[in-house]
Each structure stands twice: as structure tokens, then as C-alpha cells.
Chains A and B, each alone.
Chain A
Amino acid sequence: MADTKTVAPKEGALERSWNWLTETQIWKSVFRHNAPITDRNRVLVVLSNVFLHLHPVRIRKSGVRLRYTWCMGGLSFFLFLTLTFTGVLLMFYYRPTLEYAYTDIVGLREHVPLGIMREMHRWGAHAMVITVWLHMFRVFMTGSYKPPREFNWNVGVIMLVLTLLLSFTGYLLPWDQLAIWAITVGSNMARATPFLGYEGPGASLLALGDVQLIHAADDARFALLGGTFVGEGALLRFYVLHCVGLPLAIAVLMAVHFWRVRKDGGISGPL
């Protein structure tokens, strides 16, 4: 028994193929560093990965304490990913036209296996609005908006607005009575935009002689609706904004946001 210890144990087939695999060029081109088990390798792995490098290499203990962050930023991000995934699935069935929009939504529940995707998208959307507000609240209560994090606070404010706009544009898409009238009411407020809304303060000043430059068919509300009332133009515009424009903008800002958290010294700590 004693001398078996001095002999190198024979490699099993599994071990040999593992060794072979991790020596291949393909493997090495994907995993450029050894397993992140030492401090140095951890840093290398984080720094050389486009997704991970947005994160700090190290964080304070308070940064992972639930009582400090409530994980509300993380939950907002998680919900955003869920919404992107379920939203893309919905796009396979939903057609943004007056003829089909409503029935396609009903069909999602009635004719599609796992129509629960629509439910997940809707509930997730409501939840994200809530978590983003709560995240903002915790950032405020922990004083994390102070320099050097004031820039990230402002990135956050823009993302809050984008979150609400996503919620607003998505609300129209089922094209039911609730949707149409909610957007009618909501977009009518744009009539009162200063200068750019035809009933807003200052709009009547923008005139060439007695030709009004800002009127019901070219003001801010019109740009939003693609028409003078909530009709097919509005449905299409909201669809494009909801599925392409706004998600792209918020995704880019999230990358900036996480990068800024890292650059501003990681998640703030309790005083």
C-alpha cells in the first residue's frame, strides 16, 4: 500500500478527455485564463470579459448586503432581462394593426401554449416600474447620489423616464378600451407642452404672420401619435418605440450605469 502513493495515479478516460478539451485552441480562445480560483485570475477573468468588466472587480461587504441595497437595482435589471425575453416571444404572435392587435393578444392567452408569457410580460412590467422607484428611493436614502455618483444619479433619472415610457407605450398595444382611452388621456397632456404643444404656453407666439406654425397636425402630440387621435398611426409608432427604440436606449444606458458604479468606486458603503 505504501508504495502506491509514490506512483502517479493513472488518468481515467474522463480526465484525459477533459485535459484534451481544455488544451484545444477553441477552448483556449474562449477561456483565456485559468479558473478564477486565485485573486489574480479572478481579476483577469473579470477584466477580459466584456460583460463582467462592467462590474467592479471587488465590492464592499455592504454592497451585497440585502439590507443596504435591497437588491432593487439588481432586480430592476433582472426584470428588464425577463421583459426582453418574454417581449421578443410575444412579437412572434402580435401584429400591431387595428385589425389584429386585440385578437392577437386574446389569442396569446387562448391559442398559444404557455400563453403565460404574456402574463409574465405584463406583471414583470408593473414590477419593474415599482423596483426602479424603490431603487431610486434606496439610493436617495443611503445618500448614494452624492459626488462622485451624481453623474450616475442622472443616468438613473433618464432610465426612470425610459422605464415609464416603456410602460406607457406598452400599455397601448393590447388595443382594448382601457388602452385606447388611457393613451388618449395621457397623450392629450402633450397638447400642453410649452411651445411644442398646440395648446401649450408660448405655442401661439410661433407664427409667421397669421400662419400658426404649431397646430394640431404638427405638434408634440402629433409626433407621438402619428395622427390627430389615437388610431393606427399611434399603434404603430408605440409598437416601434416599445419594441425597438426605447429598449435599445435603456440597454445602452444600463451598460453606462453599471460601468459608472464600478468607476465611482463600487457600490457606496454605509457611513
Chain B
Amino acid sequence: MADEPNVPASGTPAPKPAAKPAPPSVPPGLAGKTTSAAAAPRRPAAKKKVEDDTSPLLSRRGWIGLAWGSFTAASAAGLAATGRFMFPNVLNEPPQQFRIGFPDEYAPGVDERWKDRFGVWIVRTPSDMVQEAAGFYALLVTCTHLGCTPNWLSAEDKFKCPCHGSGFRPTGINFEGPAPRPLERARIVLAEDGQILVDKAQKFQFELGQWADPESFLRV
């Protein structure tokens, strides 16, 4: 901080600026510009500083404020960019929508062939509990407790979750363990080529009455 006259580290204190004796000989208008040189010849730095301070564009304080402001803004932008970096634009995950063949390729009951690849069970039923018709529904293999994948136990006619023991009927209705609600069903329709099309992006929840939706069930 060279702005203020410093007390020297050792020895006598710095001489006080000789403000009092000098002025009389100087015209008032020139005081600021000339006295310092005349009255305090040993501190030419003081003159320089006065000129800096009257910088036309922005005061010293203003510049520093601007610098800190831009620094803060740049840091905030950098932080936001870092956050955004963690969310990729392309995901290498299995498709949400897929064709699973023709209806006559499926026998009645729970079909596990797409479980690993697409995460659905295809169930063909002679009469659905909600739709009261024959047809297909696609159950998502995600346990409604905390998301493990249940196993289909055909001998016991139920889905059983290995994580905390939730059990589900072939309809998807939960009947034991901590799962609070039935398995979800995915949209299931016939594609133009006659194949069954499953779309996991659209889900139907029993407790919301959504199993009555025509797209939650494929009548055949």
C-alpha cells in the first residue's frame, strides 16, 4: 500500500508533509498541481497517485469493483458449466420403445424373454382384472419398493423381490413385503406391421386408475 506516507520501519518518523508553510507563494488555482513538488520535494510519488485517482474512465475503486464483478461472474459461469458437464446429451441406454414380435408368438402367462434386454415382462391373460378382456400387458421389472428386479416364481405364481421380500401377483398387484403399490405397466399397442410395440416412456399406475387406459392393455 504505497498510497499513504508510511512510517519508516526504523529511525525517526517521516517528516509530516509541509502543508502549512508552502501555500502562500502559490496561486490558489494551481495549488493541487504544483505545491506537492514545491513543498514536498522528497515524495514525488504522491504527485503520481493524484493523477491516477482522477483517471477519466473509472475511479480506482470502480476498476477494482469491475474486476471483482467480472471475476465473480466468470466463476459462477464456470461453476454452472461444471454442473452442466455432469449431464450428457446422449445416453448409452437400452431404448424405451421397442417391438417384441407378433401376438401369436406368445402363450398365455408371464413371458420372461425381454426381461434382461428391455426390462419388461409380457403377460398374456385370458381376462384382465381391470379391462375384463383377453390380451397383453407389459409389466416393468422395477420393484415399487426401492427398485430391485423381482424374480418370477412360476411354481408359486408370483413375482418375488430378493431385496426385501416384496411379492406381486401376475397382475402386478402387491400382496406381501414392503412394496407400497403394484408394479407399473408400460404402454403396449400394435405397430403398423402388426407387431406388438412397448413404450416404457409412458407408464400406467394401478393406484391412479391408469390401468383402465386403453394403451395400458392390448386387446386381442
Contacts and interface: CB of A to CB of B under 8 A. Distances in A.
Q: Chain B: interface secondary structure?
A: loop
B146 interface: yes
A25 B140 CA distance: 73
Given A181-B163, A189-B146, 4 more contacts: A181-B148, A184-B146, A185-B163, A229-B93
B91 A228 contact: yes
A181 B147 CA distance: 8
Contacts of B86: 223, 226
Interface string B142-169: 0000111000000000000011000000
A231 B146 contact: no
B146 A185 contact: yes
Given A181-B163, A231-B93, A226 B88 contact: yes
Contacts of B93: 227-229, 231
A217 B153 CA distance: 32
A222 B163 CA distance: 22
Interface range for A: 10 to 19
A227 B91 contact: yes
Nearest to A181: B148
Interface of B: 86-88, 91-93, 146-148, 162-163
B91 A218 contact: no
Interface of A: 181, 184-185, 188-189, 217-218, 222-223, 226-229, 231-233
21 contacts: A181-B148, A181-B162, A181-B163, A184-B146, A184-B147, A184-B148, A185-B146, A185-B148, A185-B163, A188-B147, A217-B91, A218-B87, A222-B87, A223-B86, A226-B86, A226-B88, A227-B91, A227-B93, A228-B91, A229-B93, A233-B91
Contacts of A229: 93
B150 to A, nearest CB: 11
A226 B147 CA distance: 17
Nearest to A187: B147
A252 to B, nearest CB: 18
A228 B203 CA distance: 15
Contacts of A233: 91-92
A187 to B, nearest CB: 8
Contacts of B146: 184-185, 188-189
Contacts of A228: 91, 93
A217 B146 CA distance: 18
A198 B91 CA distance: 18
Which 6 pairs show the lowest CB-CB distances between chains A and B? A185-B146, A188-B147, A188-B146, A184-B147, A181-B148, A223-B86
Contacts of B91: 217, 227-228, 233
B141 to A, nearest CB: 11
B151 to A, nearest CB: 12
A47 B87 CA distance: 46
Nearest to B162: A181
A185 B161 CA distance: 12
A185 B146 CA distance: 5
A222 B88 CA distance: 10
Contacts of B88: 226
A173 B163 CA distance: 19
A231 to B, nearest CB: 7
A186 to B, nearest CB: 8
A226 B88 CA distance: 8
A250 B36 CA distance: 57
Contact of B147 (A185, A217, A227, A232): A185
B66 to A, nearest CB: 32
A249 to B, nearest CB: 15
B148 A223 contact: no
Nearest to A221: B147
Contacts of B148: 181, 184-185
A231 B163 CA distance: 18
Contacts of B163: 181, 185
